[in-house]
Structure 1
Amino acid sequence: MTSHTALLIIDYTNDFVADKGALTCGKAGQDIEPRIIQLADKFVKDDDWVILPTDVHTPNDPYHPETKLFPPHNVRDTWGREFYDDLADWFKVNQDQDKVYMYDKTRYSAFAGTDLDLRLRERHIDTLHLVGVCTDICVLHTAVDAYNLNYQLVIHKNGVAGLTPAGKKWALNHFEHVLGAKVID
């Protein structure tokens, strides 16, 4: 039977999570790691999809809008772009499975400028579970695009972290009351 569900682990890298990351959520991001690993294991066990949309940048790109907003981050082939801590180990163990893969993205949304929608539709996926960072930036923009593309959304509030508690709280409210997402623990 074909699964219609995917877990998207968004931007869970050293630059966004580690204490010395260039644009880190810090402890809030680190605290969600057990939940992310737990969900990833469950999705693999249930033969569902686990996709890791991961920000990638070129430092000081004059054509990229984030260059003027944020310090260089998630630069290809750097420590900052590597998956954080236990997720790095989890990915090494699971990356050869057919339904687990990393996905490059260059904008906040995992859909912007990628063929993610096409790949999901080819696989008949209609429900997306979102975890990762930052709740009020990349997770939010991915959720908005998914909503506009008519995907069902499930946000795991214990699996997302923002740069600030207020940003996370606002985004969780937006997911539920504006995008109609199911927000669960």
Structure 2
Amino acid sequence: MQGLVVIDYTHDFVATDGALTTGQPGQAIEKNLVQIARDFVTNEDFVVMAVDRHDQNDTYHPENKLFPPHNLVGTPGRELYGELADFYQAHRSKIYWLDKRHYSAFCGTDLDLRLRERQITTLHLVGVCTDICVLHTAVDAYNLGYQLVIHESAVASFDPVGHEWALRHFKNTLGAKVVD
């Protein structure tokens, strides 16, 4: 069985005016990312929207020392970006929404439980940022024994060097299939 995790494809991470945007690289993957999600929903595979969730003025979260405020609860920045927002609205009953507080979609969430309930052994990853949240999710998935598929045409970063490094790391260190 297989599942898809769409990671952090929100206004703050993708839109030109987003608080922590990947900008053009993130925008360029939109059609491929939405098509992959559409294919998974059509096949009735498990689809997860893993979305970063932060609270305004949270002085305890370590990301606050590293990045500007982003994906704040109740702000437009946390909304899904572009066509993915419309796709989600049309298929929300078939997609599992997962709030996450850390880079990895597994950290402090019930993602592993949800996947194991469905006997999912292969996990497809798309979204942003390749070298941060996608990478940390992939590492945790690998450590939990999942087979990984990374869709190169549906991941992006604001750091081109980090993006390329992460793609090599997925393949050479985590044994992931990196596909177009």
TM range (shorter): over 0.9
Unaligned runs of 5+ in 1: none
User: Where does structure 1 differ by over 6 angstroms across 4 or more consecutive aligned residues?
Assistant: none
> Which is worse superposed, 37-46 or 9-18?
37-46
Alignment of 1:56-75 (within 5 A): 56-75=53-72
Q: Distance in 2 between matches of 1:115 and 1:51?
A: 11
Contact 2:56 2:73 in 1 (8 A): no
Find out whether 1:33 has 2:46 as its counterpart.
no
What SS is found at the alignment partner of 1:58? coil
Letter in 2 for 1:146: A
* Cα deviation, residue 59, structure 1: 2.2
Deviations 1:142-181 (A, max 9, x none): 0000000000000000000011211110000000000000
Q: Distance in 1 between matches of 2:109 and 2:97?
A: 13
What SS is found at the alignment partner of 1:22? coil
What SS is found at the alignment partner of 1:95? helix
Give the percent of matched residue pairs that are identical in Structure 1 and Structure 2.
61
Q: Distance in 1 between matches of 2:55 and 2:74?
A: 10
Letter in 2 for 1:145: D
Find out whether 1:87 has 2:84 as its counterpart.
yes
TM-score by length of 2: 0.98
Letter in 1 for 2:98: Y
Match of 1:50 in 2: 47
Deviations 1:85-144 (A, max 9, x none): 1000000000022xx121100000000011111111011111100000000000000000
> Which is worse superposed, 56-65 or 8-17?
56-65
What is the aligned length? 180
Q: Distance in 1 between matches of 2:41 and 2:114?
A: 18
Letter in 2 for 1:70: F
* Cα deviation, residue 50, structure 1: 1.0
Deviations 1:45-96 (A, max 9, x none): 1111110110000123111010100010001111000000100000000002
